[in-house]
Structure 1
Amino acid sequence: MTTLQTERLVLRPWRESDAEALYKYAKNPHIGLPAGWPPHTSVEESLDIIRNVFNGPEDYAIALAGDPDTAIGAIALKLAGSSTLFPEDDTTQAELGFWIGEPFWGHGYVPEAAHELLRHAFDDLGLATVWCAYYEGNTKSARVQEKLGFEPVSITPEVPVPLLHDVRTGHENRMTRAQWEQLNAK
């Protein structure tokens, strides 16, 4: 799997040795609950997440460039068959998802990481469209998507949130290759 780098960050494959760092940040209810997943309850649960959830071909741990061995967040492209935002057999689209530990909020790390993953999606993987969504009230995710240039597409009431046994209002946004190229024209 690829490792991606920005000026301040390294996006790299998850390792089993990341379980303690993952638990440190993912146990915080301010992280998972707005995104639709319960806080982690143990290092063992975080290890299971690394093995069985963060194991896709485009799942990355976010780390600071000065400390690439310590995961501080997660970012991923969900490809065909792993997103409900586009047809499951469509290999030209992906869904972007992300979060970062609370001590790292407000430093612009998520937009920086997401910008690099969008570059990778359009330039390296040749995708035509990248989707991104958030639940009503997740203002941090909404702001990141706005900063990146995602275009609002729909608002869906009563979206199931299975991991929390809940329903919420979902906001679905997208970026096409043409939009990406226009936003990044030199």
Structure 2
Amino acid sequence: MIFKTANLTLRPWKEEDAECLYHFAKNPNVGPIAGWPPHESVDDSLNIIKTVFAKKETYAVVKDNIPIGCAGLLFHPDTNHWWGEGAVELGYWIAEEHWGNGYAAEASKAIIDHAFNDLGISQIYASYRTENTQSKRVLEKLGFKYYSKMTNENYMHEFFTEIAMKLEK
């Protein structure tokens, strides 16, 4: 499936996106705040495309034919938390070079509309690290409301605090 917004195209990831993905995902300002390690090689990025980004409802966020991020819905058991039967988790990230343009909210809005209107989803959850105020603003723009505060563990086995938010149809 492909979605078009005012500024973006959301489409499935392609193996040929690996070099571009690596360019953006190697940045240590992007992955760790979203919960994943910076990519270490083009092969690392290709592996992510073939595994993580190959899951249903996961889309490349494309601007001017360049994939600049990712947005999608995570279904249990691939979610960060168990949100309950029928609930999904929204995930997104945008390359640092494109921060501040509203692309995370624009892409996520298309995904949310698809979830509610086409997939019959009635509850969407998302979480952000307390220090990630940009992600908090994205979720607030989208209408998400505070759900809970929790402690989680990252890929380096470090504990951090995050805020979970919820959006209902």
- For the aligned pair, the TM-score class normalised by the smaller chain equals over 0.9
The gaps in structure 2 that reach 5 residues or longer are none
Matches within 5 A, 1:133-148: 133-148=127-142
| Divergent runs of 4+, >4 A | none
Give the superposition deviation at 1:164.
2.4
Q: Which residue of 2 aligns with 1:175?
A: 167
1:81-128 Cα offsets, whole Å, 9 max, x none, are 2222413xx2x2110000011111111111111111100010011101
- Rounded to whole Å, the distance in 1 between the matches of 2:27 and 2:76 is 30
Q: Does 1:71 align with 2:67?
A: yes
Match 1:112 to one of 90, 106, 118: 106
Q: Which residue of 2 aligns with 1:184?
A: none
Give the superposition deviation at 1:173.
0.4
Give the superposition deviation at 1:147.
1.1
The one-letter code matched in structure 1 to 2:153 is P
SS across alignment from 1:95: strand
SS across alignment from 2:40: coil
Matches within 5 A, 1:3-152: 3-64=2-63, 67-68=64-65, 70-83=66-79, 84-87=81-84, 90=85, 92-152=86-146
Q: Which residue of 2 aligns with 1:182?
A: none
SS across alignment from 1:72: strand
Identity across aligned pairs (percent)?
Answer: 42
SS across alignment from 1:112: helix
Give the superposition deviation at 1:156.
0.9
1:52-85 Cα offsets, whole Å, 9 max, x none, are 1111110100001xx23x2110111002322224
- Rounded to whole Å, the distance in 2 between the matches of 1:5 and 1:12 is 9
Aligned length: 168
The one-letter code matched in structure 1 to 2:6 is E
Q: Which residue of 2 aligns with 1:160?
A: 153
After TM superposition, the score normalised by the length of structure 2 is 0.96
- Rounded to whole Å, the distance in 2 between the matches of 1:52 and 1:114 is 21
- Rounded to whole Å, the distance in 2 between the matches of 1:4 and 1:164 is 35
Give the superposition deviation at 1:23.
0.4
More helix by share: 1
- Rounded to whole Å, the distance in 1 between the matches of 2:48 and 2:38 is 12
| 8 Å CA contact 1:150, 1:173 repeated in 2 | yes
The one-letter code matched in structure 1 to 2:100 is G
SS across alignment from 2:36: coil
| CA root-mean-square deviation | 1.0
After superposition, the Cα gap between the structure-2 partners of 1:85 and 1:171, relative to the gap in structure 1 and judged at 3 Å, is: farther
Larger radius of gyration: 1
